[in-house]
Amino acid sequence: MNLFKIMLGTFLGLVIFFVVLIVVGLSMVGASMVETPPNIEANSVFKIALDKPIVEKEDNRVWTKLRRNIAGDAAGVGLYDLIEAIHLAKKNESIKGIYLEMGIFEAGYSTLYELRNALEDFKKSGKFIYAYGEILTEKSYYISSVADQLYMPESGLIELNGLKIEVLYFKNLFEKLELKTEVFKAGEFKSAVEPYISDHMSENDRIQSKALMEDLYNEFLDKVSASRNISKETLFNISDSMKVRNSDAALSHHIISAVGYLSELKKAIATKIGVKESDEIKWCGYKAVLATKPKDLEVNKSVAIIYAAGEIVQGGKNQHYISPENIIPELHKAAEDDNIKAVVLRINSPGGSALASDVIWNEILELKAKKPVVASMSDVAASGGYYMAMACDKIVATPNTITGSIGVFGLFVHAEGLLQNKLGITSDREKIGRYADIGSFSKGMNDEERAIIQQEIEHIYGQFLSKAAKGRKQPVEEIGKHAGGRVWSGRDAITVGLVDSLGGINDAIRIAAQMAKLKEKEYNIVQLPDSDAEDWLELLGSTEEDVYDKKQKQMLLEFYPYLEIFQDMHRVKGIQTRLPYYFTIN
């Protein structure tokens, strides 16, 4: 038996050794591929294919690429890297223009705002932007309308019909299942709990949703109107009556420049750059453009970007969420590194756990005591996301950022009726302590228990208000006028004092550098978490939960969001500082 154990142990050891050897070999090959990008040839065109999600920070690690190839996942394009590539292309004499190839991609309206601004800045160089799209939605048209020439094929489709916010409500389903929800909140606009207790929008939620959409759509109309030289009134009428649905209608209303196929657009580009045939065009991608960036300046001063993207959860270390375990080490790293002179906290979060938000808030204050910290709000920085931002010295948002939502809620689900009446399951208990079973899944609450939880909700809301007032240097009474769970666009957030200025991530970097008394070209940019750091869990393929989620999305397709809401109910148990998060804007 001992001999068998020894042989088995030796065999397993050899297997592990060879697996590690193969993985290390692949990493070396992959790394060599990454480190030898193509050069930019003279008379090149920068091709930007928008057919992947635009994410905050692209994961370029070899292991991640290997895992994506095996799983068949699409790699996201990092917004900061893409903007940086556009700025480099503007100055690069070898690059004559940009070709935008519009596909189906995921991005929030704040992300699109920053990308579009970078493209507008590129045009100031006098270089051209040509675009081609077969199917254009509001989001893809918002970007492609910046182009000098926008082509669509004869069979092309375009959707210009306005924006909507859609919320799913589950009150009637819960009643049929005999599931009882106990909801607690502080803030009259805190509508995150409404899907569980209502079958329609409350008046307050309707007010804030309409105001948010109006801000987003006005910004859309302003930008498109300026680019296409069409009045806002005309654009709105086209959208409101859905006059433009195909390429012919789009051309007649000057929404696009030409009806033509991709081959025709490439011929137009060839003519523009002075070559005879389209196959003579020299294309370059954003990775190649980034590779032309001069090596880091020989200075020992840096501004660090710390990314905080995802829902805020208590406990665990998962790249899809923000938790004290994964962001606090990065805050400590920035605080302890003497070369890092200022920090930009890039926030893209609807909020989440009230406890986790508060713990992270305190750590940001500790960092701020040592060096300037500027919050850069992305698509969403609301509720717990705003909780983090209000600890910073300055807050920068785009006009399209969704922010505010200063409020607290608690959700408890009781399934006593479902268990007993539908499934024939009963429960019994013995306890020490009158409230030992408060919040139990198998029993409802009495009035005393409800009062205890509501008191805690109001206590946390009071803390939220007082800390927001201190961070924004306003009286509690003043900040309270704009709290109550109310959601604001970035543009409106400035008028009510929740945000300091409008701008993107590069604006936040400049403000942080100025606060640290750093001059231009005196500092480098450091992005945290460090993309070279990787643990074995990530190497071997995320978590079981990630794999399961991917399979569910593949199987359920458009029905997946319904299941996701039920799954999220488990995470939102307890007290939350979170956005009204079950809606989509499209």
CATH classification at residue 515: 3.90.226.10
Domain assignment of residue 497, yes or no: yes
For a pLDDT cut of 70, what percent of the chain falls above it? Answer: 81
Task: Say whether both 286 and 317 belong to one domain.
Answer: no
What is the distance between the terminal CA atoms of the chain, rounded to a whole angstrom? 65
Judged against a pLDDT cut of 70, whether residue 14 lies above it is answered with: no
**Out of 91-100, 192-201, 374-383, 533-542, least confident range:** 533-542
Task: Say whether both 366 and 480 belong to one domain.
Answer: yes
DSSP state of 300: S
Domain end residue (candidates: 261, 290, 319): 290
Judged against a pLDDT cut of 70, whether residue 74 lies above it is answered with: no
**What's the whole-number mean pLDDT along residues 557-582?**
55
Judged against a pLDDT cut of 50, whether residue 328 lies above it is answered with: yes
Judged against a pLDDT cut of 50, whether residue 119 lies above it is answered with: yes
Angle of CA points 369, 504, 52, to nearest 5° = 120
Task: Say whether both 411 and 323 belong to one domain.
Answer: yes
| Domain residue limits at 499 | 302-543+575-585
Task: Say whether both 267 and 320 belong to one domain.
Answer: no
Please count the structural domains in the chain: 2
pTM of the model: 0.85
Judged against a pLDDT cut of 90, whether residue 148 lies above it is answered with: yes
pLDDT per residue as tens digits for the range 461-497: 999 999 999 999 999 999 999 999 999 999 999 999 9
Q: Give the model's confidence band at 571: pLDDT under 50 very low, under 70 low, under 90 confident, else very high.
A: low
Judged against a pLDDT cut of 80, whether residue 356 lies above it is answered with: yes
- Backbone phi, psi, residue 277, to 5°: -120, 150
Q: How far is CA 510 from the centre of its chain?
A: 22
Alpha helices in 369-519 (DSSP H): 384-389, 416-417, 447-472, 476-481, 490-495, 505-515
Domain assignment of residue 174, yes or no: no
Looking at residue 189, what is its pLDDT? 83
Q: Are 305 and 344 in contact (CB under 8 A)?
A: yes
Task: Say whether both 413 and 511 belong to one domain.
Answer: yes
Looking at residue 30, what is its pLDDT? 47
Domain end residue (candidates: 233, 261, 290): 290
Looking at residue 312, what is its pLDDT? 94
Q: Which residues of 84-122 are buried (b: 16+ CB within 10 A; e: fewer)?
A: bbbbbbbebebbbbbbbbbeebebbbbbbbbbbbbbeeb
**What's the whole-number mean pLDDT along residues 556-577?**
55
Interacting residues of 80 by C-beta distance below 8 A, sequence separation 6+: 56, 57, 305, 505, 527
Q: Are 50 and 101 in contact (CB under 8 A)?
A: yes
CA distance linking residue 500 with residue 503, whole number of Å: 10
Looking at residue 544, what is its pLDDT? 44
